[in-house]
A and B are shown apart, each in its own frame.
Chain A
Amino acid sequence: MIAIDNLHKKFGKNQVLQGIDLTIDEGGIFAVLGPNGSGKTTLIKSILGMVLPDAGSIRLNGSSIKKDWKYRNQIDYLPQIANFPGNLTVQELIKMIKDLRSDKTTEDERLIDVFKLQPFLNKKLSNLSGGTKQKVNLVLTFMFDSPLIILDEPTTGLDPISHLRLKTLISEAKEKGKTILITSHIMSFVEEIADEIVFLLEGKIYFRGSIFQLKERTEQPDFEHAIAAMLSSSYA
């Protein structure tokens, strides 16, 4: 699905990615973890084409994403911070995003129903609470049927019910055989859903494998401690 080869990126003097090699096969949930500044967001943004790498290549289904933009029809992205043009209504925003995609079969109505957004459809986006905005954000992401889904901190600001629905959505997508890439700080959430972990540290892949392998390697009984152990050992 995704083949990343020797990816380098530098912002000013700050070398953020220093040679990432990563292959992600089709199907399954992958969690990208790492401390702040380890390059998680940069990696994701590179895949999305928002950050242009200094060196290395990214291939999606065999073809390079460089100087291409149509490939993004195959990706659904949930950005970390949801902020929309304040004077558009929820409905107009959904329509706009639909306008931009070539994929015309959408599930927006079902999702609006799932997140109970009907009363907000004709409200201006500037009048919505942070949680509601995040729900809108989720609708925008999941309404298309793309083979790759990238979620950047998807749980931020969600109430427990929506949180549950999100998990359902994710597992539904997995059942359909989609590939899902997630970053999150909520370790329990990651532990619950992730099939595989990619741990980044100082711009390199420090660990890649299943949660079980991680626990084995760090000799820790639970996931959170395993992560902590990995961090402290790397700093030591």
Chain B
Amino acid sequence: MRKILKYSFYDLMRSRWSYVYFLFYLLLGIVLLFLNNDLNKAVITLMNVIIVLVPLIGTIFGVMYYYNSKEFTELLLAQPVKRSSIFLGQYFGVALSLSLSLILGLGGPFVFYGIFNSSAIWDFSLLLVTGTLLTLIFTALAFVIALFNENKIKGFGYAILLWLFMAVIYDGLFLMSLMYFEDYPLDKFSLVATMLNPVDLSRVLILLKLDISALLGYTGAVFQNFFGTSFGLILSLGMLGLWVLVPVLIINRKAKRKDF
């Protein structure tokens, strides 16, 4: 797996899109920090970018990479390599190169700005950690979708739908159900519903840092426990980890049973 990973990673790191992605983050970081000169606002804007854009890019890149390297994958399949190694290697190649673009692109300007001397270092590293996790999650989901759909157009369609669902529609349904059942105690439900969507989960993880004052205004004991202690942080990170693991296992399983 490591060999495949190494070469897909090399390949991707030299691709135009990696540079575009990297430069986008670099530019974003520079604009936010040096033109606006306001660290707090930069972190908030970044959060919006990270929870919306990172999943989208991860999904599109994942699907695109899978379909584009289909013929090469067939060549690899005829080599004495385990199937799971091929797909996991390619997956980690894509996910790591995307993560690296994100971390270097954003981290560069921030380091230069002197984040290490500022108290925002934790907020910022949390942003990068969730960004990386979201990349891992959505690239994996993209691979799953691509593995289950031979048809490229269909695969793309499903991938975009998945993103749209996770980033927007899910929250709409979530909000409606909360308002519809407002007479019932809902804090457990809302926590579970949050756990089931990695985008929401990452958002809440960042909220724990940014908006803790507002979150603590809520009365429920479950929320209080979740928001008020490090329990929330640990649980959210654990769930995000699970969100990486499960699709990766599905990739592994599907790769073993698929015909090419």
In the complex they form, do A and B come into direct contact, defined as C-beta atoms under 8 angstroms apart? yes
Size class of B's contact patch? Answer: 20 to 34
Task: Determine whether the beta carbon of B72 is less than 8 Å from that of A83.
Answer: yes
Residues of A within 8 A of B15 (CB): 86-87
A residues 62-80 touching B (CB-CB < 8 Å):
69-73, 75, 77, 79
Interface size on A, residues (CB 8 A): 34
Quick one: closest B residue to A97, CB to CB? Answer: B79
B189 at the interface (CB under 8 A from A): no
A97 to B258, CA, bound (A): 23
Known: A84-B72, A88-B7. Is A50-B79 also a contact (CB below 8 A)?
A: no
Residues of B within 8 A of A75 (CB): 78
Task: Determine whether the beta carbon of A92 is less than 8 Å from that of B10.
Answer: yes
Task: Determine whether the beta carbon of A81 is less than 8 Å from that of B71.
Answer: yes
Task: Determine whether the beta carbon of A87 is less than 8 Å from that of B75.
Answer: no
B182 at the interface (CB under 8 A from A): no
Residues of A within 8 A of B3 (CB): 96, 99-100
Which of A69, A77, A92 counts the most B-chain CB atoms under 10 A from its CB? A69
A94 to B11, CA, bound (A): 14
Residues of A within 8 A of B69 (CB): 83, 85
A45 at the interface (CB under 8 A from B): yes
A102 at the interface (CB under 8 A from B): yes
Task: Determine whether the beta carbon of A52 is less than 8 Å from that of B259.
Answer: yes
Residues of A within 8 A of B78 (CB): 48-50, 72, 75, 77, 79, 150
A87 to B3, CA, bound (A): 16
Which of A9, A70, A81, A87 counts the most B-chain CB atoms under 10 A from its CB? A87
Task: Determine whether the beta carbon of B71 is less than 8 Å from that of A79.
Answer: yes
A96 to B10, CA, bound (A): 11
Task: Determine whether the beta carbon of B11 is less than 8 Å from that of A88.
Answer: yes
B183 at the interface (CB under 8 A from A): no
A96 to B14, CA, bound (A): 16
Task: Determine whether the beta carbon of A48 is less than 8 Å from that of B77.
Answer: yes
CB distance from A217 to the nearest CB of B (A): 34
A97 to B8, CA, bound (A): 13
A235 at the interface (CB under 8 A from B): no
CB distance from A45 to the nearest CB of B (A): 7
A194 at the interface (CB under 8 A from B): no
B188 at the interface (CB under 8 A from A): no
A45 to B77, CA, bound (A): 10
Known: A86-B15, A100-B80. Is A79-B7 also a contact (CB below 8 A)?
A: no
User: Which of B72, B75, B260 lies in contact with A77, CB distance below 8 A?
Assistant: B75
A158 to B6, CA, bound (A): 31
B237 at the interface (CB under 8 A from A): no
A96 to B7, CA, bound (A): 7
User: Which of B11, B75, B82 lies in contact with A79, CB distance below 8 A?
Assistant: B75
A2 at the interface (CB under 8 A from B): no
Quick one: closest A residue to B93, CB to CB? Answer: A85
Task: Determine whether the beta carbon of B260 is less than 8 Å from that of A85.
Answer: no
A100 to B12, CA, bound (A): 19
A49 to B13, CA, bound (A): 31
Which of A50, A75, A81, A101 counts the most B-chain CB atoms under 10 A from its CB? A50
Task: Determine whether the beta carbon of B259 is less than 8 Å from that of A50.
Answer: yes
Residues of B within 8 A of A77 (CB): 75, 78
A124 to B15, CA, bound (A): 11
Quick one: closest A residue to B78, CB to CB? Answer: A77
Task: Determine whether the beta carbon of A69 is less than 8 Å from that of B72.
Answer: no
Which of B15, B69, B79 counts the most A-chain CB atoms under 10 A from its CB? B79
B38 at the interface (CB under 8 A from A): no
Task: Determine whether the beta carbon of B11 is less than 8 Å from that of A86.
Answer: yes
Residues of A within 8 A of B80 (CB): 69-73, 100-102
CB distance from B76 to the nearest CB of A (A): 8
Could you jot down 30 A-B contacts, CB within 8 Å? A9-B259, A11-B259, A48-B77, A50-B259, A69-B82, A69-B83, A70-B80, A77-B75, A77-B78, A79-B78, A82-B71, A83-B70, A83-B71, A84-B72, A85-B8, A87-B11, A87-B13, A87-B15, A88-B7, A88-B10, A88-B14, A92-B7, A96-B7, A100-B76, A100-B79, A100-B81, A101-B79, A124-B14, A140-B75, A150-B78
The interface of chain B, by Cβ under 8 A from chain A, is 3, 7-8, 10-15, 69-72, 74-83, 257-260
